[in-house]
Amino acid sequence: MNKSSIQPRLIVHGGAGAISRANLPPEAYARYASKLRSVNAETLGLLRDGTTALDAATHAVRLLEDCPLFNCGKGAVFTRDGTIELEASVMVSKGYRKRGCGVVLIKHVKNPILLAREILVRGETDSEGGHNDDGIDPSGGTGGAQGHSVLGGPTVEALARKWGLDMVPESHHWTKKRWDEHKRQLLQSGLPNPNWTQNPKWPPEEDSWDGREYLPQGTVGCVALDRSGILCVATSTGGLTNKLSGRIGDTPTIGAGFWAEEWCCAQMVVNRQPRPQSPLSAIVPDGLFDVWADCMPTMNGGYNTVPRNLPLDEKQRSASSIRSYRAVAMSGTGNGDSFLRTAATRTAAAMARWSGQSLATSVQEIAGAGGELQRSAGDRWDKTSEGEGEGGIIGIELVNGVGRIVFDFNCGGMFRAWTDDLGNERVMVFREEY
């Protein structure tokens, strides 16, 4: 694979769910589209300038975390108790020991995606006990991330402070629309109001929620391919509206809401060698002898095949095999519990890897109409307020040095932005143009 010729690719999403033209009027769509378009353009520009996939993907998600339109960071949904509990994750196809990391139960970190990134990067110097051979904590203090891939709550927020990430009061993440959504849904479900420990005060210019406008319920995510051929997926969310405090979703769970990997394919090759002379060749015409010999293996020693599925150990690899690489990365959005039950993104990757089919086909079979996510809901499909089984997946597949954008969803819509194969900027929410 000639890595210098790899063209960077990028796709971002802003959540999926029961989106329709009725609850997403043109002026609302324009706001979402404008933000997604700017994030896509800015981040793709960074990739083209040589930024790594890790830095690009986390940059894109950070921009979305800072935007109150989306269910992550500022603008995240509330728990049933009227609190904020954020989640984020990052994973690379190769290049870091931990490969993937997640953070959960975040309240005071401004950008959870940057905390997930820190755990991944600092994992290069973590030892199993959190200290190096000299007994010095490589994170710069006592109690580093050790070898852990997923951390949450006060422990990981203390690490964020130590590492110099921006810390904010929990109220930084609040918006009036989400608070209205929180209280309205409690009332509609017949649940008692919790004993709120806070009474938010909103700026007079901040908009209320009318109960009809669509508010994104899924995650935000980005998949990036850089010039070196590395894929990275970054994902962030506030979770489900009025979830129970302490609930952990698919976003920080490796293999459920996100996945990235690379593998080596050893293609079968046929080595044509001179056929040994047979006494019959003197009396049988060449063409007829070839047909006869092909039908009689004992007479044809001229072809040696190399098995298709070879060990990855370089020393065991046949000198006659041709190595090619494939890599995939995906970010999911939708009902997180359905993604957890189906291990959705890892399942899609495994289908692509072990069956040889394209990632686009695998994603369709998981997240498309009638796919595994929808089937997992059984007779509850389209009947629960949480949208059981609903969701979508975005991703990039790298095959022979060429990146391919993929996505599919089984619900009303999925906010997404990318630059297509012809270089055109695309922003869509439905299957058809808005």
User: What is the predicted pLDDT for the residue at 348?
Assistant: 98
Query: What phi and psi values does residue 233 have, to the nearest 5 degrees?
Result: -120, 135
Q: How far apart are CA 405 and CA 179, in angstroms?
A: 36
* Angle between helical axes of 359-367 and 344-355 (0-180°, round to 10): 140
Q: How many CA atoms lie within 13 A of 344 on its CB side?
A: 40
Local confidence pLDDT in tens for the 434 residues of the chain: 555 579 999 999 999 999 999 999 999 999 999 999 999 999 999 999 999 999 999 999 999 999 999 999 999 999 999 999 999 999 999 999 999 999 999 999 999 999 999 999 999 887 544 444 433 344 444 446 788 999 999 999 999 999 999 999 999 999 988 988 888 888 777 766 665 556 666 666 566 666 666 776 779 999 999 999 999 999 999 999 999 999 999 999 999 999 999 999 866 554 545 555 555 455 555 544 444 444 444 444 443 433 444 444 444 444 455 678 899 999 999 999 999 999 999 999 999 999 999 999 999 999 999 999 999 999 999 888 889 999 999 999 999 999 999 999 999 999 999 999 999 999 999 999 99
Dmax (CA) of the chain: 101
Flag whether 333 is marked binding. Answer: yes
Strand order in the sheet with 86-92: 150-152, 100-106, 86-92, 231-237, 220-225, 9-17, 413-419, 425-428
Inter-residue contact 194 to 21 (CB < 8 Å): no
Query: What phi and psi values does residue 48 have, to the nearest 5 degrees?
Result: -65, -25
Flag whether 40 is marked binding. Answer: no
Q: Which residues pair with 231 in a beta bridge?
A: 225
Flag whether 247 is marked binding. Answer: yes
Flag whether 335 is marked binding. Answer: yes
- Reported pTM: 0.83
Type of residue found at 122: R
Output DSSP code: residue 385. Answer: T
Flag whether 334 is marked binding. Answer: yes
* Torsion of the alpha carbons at 31, 35, 38 and 40, rounded to the nearest 10: -130
Q: Which CATH architecture has domain 3-194+210-266+320-428?
A: 4-Layer Sandwich (3.60)
Neighbours of 183 (CB within 10 A): 16
DSSP states of 408-425 as a string? Answer: EESSSEEEEEEE-TTS-E
Catalytically active residues, by annotation: 219
Domains in the chain: boundaries: 3-194+210-266+320-428, 271-305
Q: How far apart are CA 332 and CA 99, in angstroms?
A: 18
